[in-house]
Amino acid sequence: MRTSITRSSSIPFAVTSTLLVGTILLAGLTERRVPEELAVPLNRMDSHIDGWTQLREQKLDAQTVKTLDATSYLSRGFRKGNSELDLFVAFYAQQRAGESMHSPKHCLPGSGWEIWREDSALVPVNGQQVQVNKYSIQNLGKRMLMFYWYQSKNRIVASEYVGKILLARDTLLTGQTAAAIVRVTLPDVPGADRQGVAFVSQVIPEVQKCFNGSR
């Protein structure tokens, strides 16, 4: 009986100790973060991409900017013929270990959009195939196709969960956690999938130039 009490008492102690160690570790990782600015500002990205021409530059309202909490962002509308699409990039000079950038999975439902299909797309970039997220969304009968991914100087990640793991690793090894979330949205009409993939394949190198400074 005495042994049983000792074992059961040790379980909460073990859990508490694990949580305490994890908290201390995350705090230590956070202290290792090194802010890293873009080599080229987002607003210097090309205004002509894959035949699309910049139509407008949009400013977010103060509350959205506060919620986004990004170091810098870019929100542009593009047009090609009678078609339009939107490009949004939010850059973070540093991130907190264990957290991630604002995912459309959480932001869209809060703004009235329903995600009715979650998929992915393979995008050709510099002779390689890069995987990004592809979501079909709708709001009040309006259907849109959205591509999004997480991009840093060294990689492109589609999964939020993989991104968190790599973020913790980067914080531990280098302290450099700078990254951006990139989103392309266009009306979900025939041919939108092809147009979106073609545009994304050109946007990825444009964002990479902002990280590397090779313009």
- 49 or 175: which leads in pLDDT: 49
Position 2 pLDDT exceeds 90: no
- 110 or 88: which leads in pLDDT: 88
CA separation for the pair 160, 130 (Å, rounded):
16
Please tell me the predicted confidence (pLDDT) of residue 196. Answer: 98
**Which stretch of DSSP H or E encloses residue 179?**
strand 179-187
Look up residue 20 and give its two tokens.
């305490």
Please tell me the predicted confidence (pLDDT) of residue 99. Answer: 57
Give the pLDDT confidence of 135-191 residue by residue, as tens digits: 999 999 899 999 999 999 989 999 988 888 888 888 888 888 999 999 999 999 999
Please tell me the predicted confidence (pLDDT) of residue 6. Answer: 41
CA separation for the pair 89, 192 (Å, rounded):
20
CA angle at 16 for the pair 10 and 22, rounded to the nearest 5°: 135
Position 66 pLDDT exceeds 60: yes
* 97, 29 Cβ separation under 8 angstroms: yes
Please tell me the predicted confidence (pLDDT) of residue 171. Answer: 83
Global confidence as pTM: 0.83
Instruction: Tell the burial category of 98 from Cβ atoms under 10 Å away from its Cβ (0-12, 13-18, 19+).
Output: middle
CA angle at 74 for the pair 105 and 64, rounded to the nearest 5°: 55
Could you give all domains of the chain from N- to C-terminal order, each with its CATH number? 32-212 (3.40.1000)
Position 122 pLDDT exceeds 70: yes
Give the pLDDT confidence of 8-37 residue by residue, as tens digits: 445 555 555 444 444 445 545 555 567 899
- 198 or 176: which leads in pLDDT: 198
User: In angstroms, how far is CA 140 from the centroid of its own chain?
Assistant: 26
Please tell me the predicted confidence (pLDDT) of residue 14. Answer: 56
DSSP class of residue 199 equals H
Look up residue 27 and give its two tokens.
């705090």
Whole-number Cα distances in Å, 76 to 28, 31, 47, 128, 146: 38, 34, 9, 27, 15
- 182 or 108: which leads in pLDDT: 182
Sign of CA dihedral 55, 57, 59, 65: positive
